[in-house]
Structure 1
Amino acid sequence: MSVWTLGLNHTTAPLDLRGRFAFALDQLAPTLQSLRSSFATGRHPQVEAAIISTCNRTEIYCAAEHAALDHTVGWLAESGGVAPALLRSHAYALQDDEAARHVFRVASGLDSMVLGEAQILGQMKDAVRAAETAGALGSTLNQLFQRSFAVAKEVRTATEIGAHSISMAAAAVRLAGQLFEDLHQTRVLFVGAGEMIDLAATHFAARDPKSIAIANRTLERGEKLASRFGGEAMRLADLPNRLAEFDIVVSCTASTLPIIGLGAVERALKARKHRPMFMVDLAVPRDIEPEVKALEDIYLYTVDDLAQVVQQGQANRQAAVAQAEVIIDAGVQSFMHWLGQRGSVPLIQQLNAQADEWRATEMARARKLLARGEPVDAVLEAMSRGLTQKMMHGAMAELHAGDAASREQTAQAISRLFLRKER
């Protein structure tokens, strides 16, 4: 059995390329079905699969009898509309222990833009549930992910990997504070109502801005989030006409196309008499057209632009990283040992089936003898002798077959298997 992963993240691929391979949570089931169906047409009919897709990464995890990295690259490249060579130049392909090490590091927050952040763990659990619901998660991948969650828990408990980490949302507040002297006087608009917006709104609300508004495609969900912060909710369709009211705009939706265009921002600036606007686009693919960044009086940051801010203080956590890597090493070794044992499962199943067949044969013979009135002790003696002969027949035949060297090897194996002394 082999496991492998193909992925690209904030360190290997630019934002716009990552956007081509972003999958919303409700897209995972059909996407996994497409991936597994593509394997079924080749030499790998039984493939387990899971996909993790966040603003910083898209990763495919698979398990099968034999690894099929080239096929996985081809499928993902086609799904994103790019050449396989381009994808390979920005992706990483890992197999077996390297794949296990990677997923353990991701779960533990060691591979995140924000070192030690815990949000990725929840996103991974969502991805695993989606794969399980889609029927794509088999015993091997389930074991891999459950072990990664356990390793992540140990890392966070035994080290200070998450100490002093700066989240994306906290970084956005910090940058906004550099533009506006007093955040109390700002009006903040959040576009979307998902987990990232919830986190960002929590951080900005702590700075007590003048007002908070939530724009969302589903008004009811927007109202639910807005009520927590004493804000108002608005429909996404009303956004262009009201954009000028806000000093700070933070957007993160699952839209596949930008929802805040250059024209809308230009009109908003004109209505604001060119008072500056601070904009944060946390979405992948982008929510805000990239051309907006070139406008004067617009300060637009993407998830990649926040990298320098969130990585501050990383040096203080290198000791914790070293401790975490030791825990991860142990987890990898344990998983690979388990994976190696999985190779014996078919043989074990065959042995059990053969033993059951022998037992059934001898039981049927014993019942016939008892029905004819044979003594119970004699029947038991015959049954035990029959089972013993069946169990020993193969070993005895091998002892008398082959050359001297092969007979010696057989003798040693038989001694280990049948002549062990009970301890």
Structure 2
Amino acid sequence: MQLLAIGINHHTAPVALRERVAFPLEQIKPALGALKDLWLGSMGRGAPEAAILSTCNRTELYCATGEKAARDAAVHWLSKYHNLPVSELAPHVYALPQSEAVRHAFRVASGLDSMVLGETQIVGQMKDAVRTAAEAGAMGTYLNQLFQRTFAVAKEVRTTTEIGAQSVSMAAAAVRLAQRIFENISGQRVLFIGAGEMIELCATHFAAQKPRELVVANRTAERGEKLADRFNGRSIPLSELPARMHEFDIIVSCTASTLPIIGLGAVERAVKARRHRPIFMVDLAVPRDIEPEAGELQDVFLYTVDDLGAIVREGSASRQAAVAQAESIIDTRVQNFMQWLDARSIVPVIRHMHTQADALRRAEVERARKMLARGEDPAAVLEALSQSLTNKLIHGPTHALSRASHENRDQLIELMGGLYKHGHPAGSNDPSEN
């Protein structure tokens, strides 16, 4: 079985491409179903396993399949699914087989491959991806084992290293950038669009600066009101956003919308109504919530998730010792997993050997029964049974030896010596029998 991790992330592709390859949550199950049908139809070898991880920073496909051609098939499928030319996507794609895929999964879950070194949000996102794949019927023995070990490694890294200590989060970076525009955030009105985990983190950091006003706009009014109440703010319907955008000095947006919810025209009108007072905007969504052209307007300071990532990386140098420790843990756990994978690979061979040997046994027993039924001497029947079984069981090895080339014969002799050295003929001086 071949393990494979295929994807793009913030290291290999800009946000403009990542947003085109992102999977909205509601699309993941049908996408997995389509991928499984493709593999079963075109390859027809074994039941493939797959899981899709899609976040602001990455879209990744983890799969286990018996086909070595799965890599190219998966890249073409990803391109076709998102209506992207393969030539446009392929230069940004990484395809990691076997132990490289395992190491990548371990590093992602441990926060070593994140914009925010050591961040913990990715573990929850990976667990959601696994849960969705299981509900879609796309999980199996290999990916279940991979992800169980992935989460165990992430826990070990976080509890035994300082990888997450003093990490600068996206939310903290947004506050830092806002402070470059406004001398004092306490005098500003702040609007949050969305009510998910990232917006909650941002609201927590901005609320600590005691802004003049904190407002939440969300598609679901109840969630928006609940989040606003936590920070003594208020909520407004998302539909009022175009008419009221000019009221806010700071706007932070992160929704699951597949299309921009703030267009260039709306921002132009807001800037005009504000009489060119600066407006600070942070777009943490992938796909983006704010049309990128808005950032070209005078008095508009628009930052994307990639821009904040650059700010975050400024403070990562002091944690390199923890990174080295974490990488050492991961290397050991990768070796352990590959040993398990190697052991799994011989299970079908062992099962086949048992099946063949049992078929020989049953045939010889049936032959012996017929001889006994004809009244033949039982001792002679047992001798014939044992001789026939012995001859048939050693036929394969002796045939292989006789046909082996000179360079392979010594290796076969050594191997067979190891296979048979533990057997002891009846009456031998085996110390374990004394």
TM-score by length of 1: 0.89
Aligned positions of 1:225-264 closer than 5 A? 225-264=227-266
Alignment of 1:87-102 (within 5 A): 87-102=89-104
Partner residue, 1:14: 14
2:144 aligns with 142
Pair 83,287 (structure 1): closer, same or farther in 2 beyond 3 Å: same
The one-letter code sitting in structure 2 at the alignment partner of 1:136 is A
Q: Distance in 2 between matches of 1:263 and 1:191?
A: 18
Across the two proteins, how many residue pairs are aligned to each other?
A: 417
Q: Once the 2 structures are TM-superposed, how far is the Cα of residue 22 of structure 1 from its aligned partner?
A: 0.8
Tell me the distance in 2 between the aligned counterparts of 1:403 and 1:49.
42
1:402/1:34 Cα in 2 relative to 1: closer, same or farther (>3 Å)? closer
Please state whether the residue corresponding to 1:304 is helix, strand or coil.
helix
Tell me the distance in 1 between the aligned counterparts of 2:369 and 2:204.
Answer: 75
Counterpart secondary structure, 1:4: strand
Contact persistence 1:257–1:286 (CA under 8 A): yes
* 1:235–1:413 distance in 2 versus 1, CA, 3 Å: same
Partners in 2 of 1:359 and 1:225 — Cα distance?
A: 71
Do 2:178 and 2:280's aligned partners in 1 also have CA atoms closer than 8 Å? yes
Does the aligned pair in 2 maintain the 1:358–1:387 contact within 8 Å?
no
Mapped to 2, the partners of 1:396 and 1:365 lie a distance apart of 19
Give me the whole-angstrom Cα distance separating, in 2, the residues matched to 1:107 and 1:357: 47
Residue number among 277, 297, 314 corresponding to 2:299 in the alignment? 297
SS, match of residue 111 in structure 1: coil
Farther off after superposition, 342-351 or 355-364: 355-364
- Contact kept? 1:44, 1:64, Cα under 8 Å: no
- Could you tell me which residue of structure 2 aligns to residue 25 of structure 1? 25
Structure 2 counterpart of 1:376: none
What is the match of residue 316 of structure 1? 318
Residue 52 of structure 1 deviates from its aligned partner by 0.7
Check if 1:397 corresponds to 2:360. no
Question: Could you give the per-residue CA deviations for residues 257-278 of structure 1, whole angstroms, max 9, x where no partner exists?
Answer: 1101111112222222222111
Distance (whole Å) between structure 1 residues aligned to residue 16 and residue 7 of structure 2: 15
The residue identity in structure 1 corresponding to 2:325 is Q
Change (3 A) 1:411 1:88: closer
Shift of 1:227: 2.0
Residues 1:274 and 2:276 aligned together = yes
| 3-state SS in 2 of match to 1:174 | helix
Question: What stretches of structure 2 of length at least 5 have no aligned partner?
Answer: 424-429
CA distance in 2, matches of 1:388, 1:209: 90
| 1:76 counterpart letter in structure 2 | L
Structure 1: give runs of 5+ residues left out of the alignment.
373-378
8 Å CA contact retained: 1:395, 1:414: no
User: Residue 5 of structure 1 corresponds to which residue in structure 2?
Assistant: 5
Q: Residues 237 and 98 from structure 1, CA distance in 2 versus in 1: closer, same or farther, beyond 3 angstroms? A: same
> SS in structure 1 opposite 2:145?
helix
- Aligned position for 2:426: none
Q: Mean alpha-carbon deviation: is it higher for 101-110 or for 343-352?
A: 343-352
Aligned CA distance change for structure 1 residues 117 and 408 (closer, same or farther; 3 Å): closer
User: Residues 289-368 of structure 1 correspond to what in structure 2 (within 5 A)?
Assistant: 289-353=291-355
Once the two structures are TM-superposed, the CA of residue 354 in structure 1 deviates from its matched residue by 5.0
What is the aligned partner in structure 2 of residue 152 from structure 1? Answer: 154
Give the C-alpha shift of residue 358 in structure 1. 7.3
Instruction: Say whether the 8 Å CA contact 2:364–2:388 is kept in structure 1.
Output: no
Partner of 1:174: 176
Structure 2 counterpart of 1:70, from 64, 69, 72: 72
**How has the CA–CA distance of structure 1 residues 106 and 416 changed in structure 2, closer, same or farther, with 3 Å as cutoff?**
same
* Distance of 1:384 and 1:297 partners within structure 2: 98
Q: CA RMSD in A?
A: 3.1
Write the distance in 2 (CA, Å) between the matches of 1:218 and 1:136: 31
Deviations 1:112-131 (A, max 9, x none): 11111111111111111111
Q: Is the alpha carbon distance of 1:354 and 1:288 closer, same or farther for their aligned partners in structure 2, counting shifts above 3 Å?
A: same
Q: Structure 2: which amino acid aligns with 1:206?
A: A
Structure 2-normalised TM-score? 0.87
